[in-house]
Amino acid sequence: MSAPATPPPALQELKDNLRAAPRRIFETAFRSGKPTTDRTRSTFIFSNVFLHLHSVRVHRWTLRWSTSMGLGIATTAAFLLTLITGILLMFYYKPYPEAAYQSIKDIHFVVPTGRFIRNIHRWAANVMVVTVILHMARTFYTASYRRPREFNWLIGMGLLAVTLGLSFTGYLLPWDQLAYWAITIGANIAQSPREVTDAVGITGWFDPGGMQKFLLLGSDSVGPEALIRFYLLHVMILPLALMALMSVHFWRIRKDGGLARPADADQRLGNPPGPVYPVFTEAPMKTYSLAAIVRGRTPAVGKGPENTVPSMPHLFYAELGVFMLTTLVCLALALISDAPLKELANPSVPENPAKAPWYFLGLQELVSFSAFVGGIGIPLLVLAGLGLIPYLDREETGTGEWFGGPGGRYVVRQALLVGFGASLAIEAFAIRFGWIREWYLAVPQLVVTILNPGTILAAVYGLYSVWLVKRYRSTRAGALGLFTCFLCGFLVLTAIGTYFRGPNWVFYWSPGDWPRH
């Protein structure tokens, strides 16, 4: 028998299939084919689970740098950096008191790239806090929280809270003096409702403060239980919560029609430069309203050329650009400055001064007058105030514009004066003359809780914004004033807490004046 000239058909088929397998794998993965035309790019986006968070086309207004300044993407980028570096750090980190400290020492000194990765983690976390606050300010000042984005503003506040929580829980993990005493203070702030329940005399049977602290620490004081709890919160519970909220946040941006823009955005932009290729022609392939998924009409039927561009590649270049810029900033900071690691935690000698992370130092400044007001009262008030903004301001002028709304820039400038002026004045007074307890020792605690620099500052800001509402007959004007004021107060208090408070929380003009230890 001679060998067959050609292989049997089945074998030939197998060979062909094998040869075609790589191509087929690619084709089945990206069913839309190569994204070369607008149409294939569109299909590429909405058939990809990760990319379809983006709309297929994006308005040119969205791509202007001044619209969003990329702050949301920068926050996401910082989060991704902390996520990756955090997972890497978990290879070596041991969440048990002394072992924790030693493992951070190991990461610092001998783990290959360990110091750099830890620095990136620390700086990306800080960058994330900064950008999330700036992102919120941008959303506020462009009035982008208005219909239909009200609830997304609330989700954004949730994200802010979780971000701060992540930062705070991460603070304990190195188990050094800084960590130990910042968390001791933090846990006691959680317990500070006792300040009120004690004053009223009901702590015996109603003690929400004590319960909060106990749940947080799993014990009476910061110890191994607290460390494992903070670890669990830091690497599991809070990241999961953050990712869940983020998904909803992003999804809603898409559902709400992308970023807010002024009603007359198209006119302002004028005609797009160069040739325009409308995707939706007189005879669209399909309309959304037919699919009954989206409210409203088809975006473009009959409108002719419009001011959108394909997300791919225009939006992606912007997003990737911001992502890499954030990375660049974090890398640079990580190279310049090492994350701090003080001596091993010592429960019998408090760090002096014991300072929380910088973004909590504003609160710590308030806490130094009254634990409850600074730690729980004012933050809750601010959160409630922020959360109500989109439901109180139901006006329409100025949406999508910087400092839009009645009064606009003028109100903001005035509010800057009031905000800085009031906070500096009351701080200067309290630093120079002390507070009630220094004048009348016997004053009941409830009086101090109700009357202290924090509450007075909040009241001044509140009254000012009510006056603005009356003066401009506009809630938006009041909101602009109040938000600006609180931002100023936050900045002033944070700066004082960070730079001007020394041992025993005494005011010093510079750390050089601190008693030498």
Q: Which residues 6+ apart lie within 8 Å of 412 measured at CB? A: 141, 403, 480, 481, 484
Q: Does 84 bind other proteins (CB under 8 A)?
A: no
105 near 338, Cβ under 8 Å? Answer: no
Q: Is 427 in the site for other proteins (CB under 8 A)?
A: no
Q: Are 78 and 86 within 8 A, CB to CB? A: no
Do the Cβ atoms of 260 and 146 come closer than 8 Å?
yes
Hey, which residues between 189 and 218 contact other proteins (CB under 8 A)? 189, 191-192, 195, 198-199, 214-215, 218
Query: Of residues 36, 267, 504, 510, which one binds other proteins by CB under 8 A?
Result: 504
Which CB atom, from 37 or from 221, has the smaller least distance to other proteins?
221
Q: Least distance (Å) from other proteins to the CB of residue 11?
A: 48
Stretch in the footprint of other proteins (CB under 8 A) among 22-30, 167-175, 385-393, 501-509: 501-509
Q: Which amino acid is at 183?
A: I
d(CA 295, CA 280): 18
How many residues form the binding site for other proteins (CB under 8 A)?
A: 83
**Identity of the residue, 112 or 270, whose beta carbon is nearer to other proteins in the bound complex:** 112
DSSP string for 283-340: S-S--HHHHT-SSSS-SSTTT-S-SEEEHHHHHHHHHHHHHHHHHHHHHHHHHH-PPP
Q: 148 or 340, CB closer to other proteins?
A: 340
Task: Tell whether residue 414 is a contact of other proteins (CB under 8 A).
Answer: no
Q: Taking CA 511 as the corner, what is the angle to CA 510 and CA 516, rounded to the nearest 5 degrees?
A: 135
Span 4-23, contacts to other proteins by CB under 8 A: none
Nearest partner of 501 among 346, 351, 343, judged by Cα: 351
- The least distance separating other proteins from the CB of residue 123, rounded to whole angstroms, comes to 12
**Interface with other proteins in residues 325-364 (CB under 8 A):** 325, 327-328, 331-332, 334-335, 341-344, 346-354, 364
Site string for other proteins, 85-114 (x = CB under 8 A): -----------------x--xx--xx-xx-
As beta bridge partners, residue 176 has 344
Q: Which of residues 41-70 bind other proteins (CB under 8 A)?
A: 63, 65
- Of 266 and 393, the one with the shorter C-beta distance to other proteins is 266
Distance between CA atoms of residues 127 and 41, nearest Å: 33
Q: How far apart are CA 171 and CA 122, in angstroms?
A: 10
Does position 322 interact with other proteins (CB under 8 A)? The reply is yes
* Contacts of other proteins in 118-157 (CB under 8 A): none
- The whole-angstrom distance between residue 289's C-alpha and the CA centroid of its chain comes to 35
**Contact positions with other proteins (CB under 8 A) in 223-242:** 223-225, 229
Between helix 177-190 and helix 150-172 the angle, nearest 10°, is 130
Question: Under rule CB under 8 A, which residues in 365-394 are in contact with other proteins?
Answer: 367-371
> Looking at 7, 148, 302, 515, which residue binds other proteins (CB under 8 A)?
515
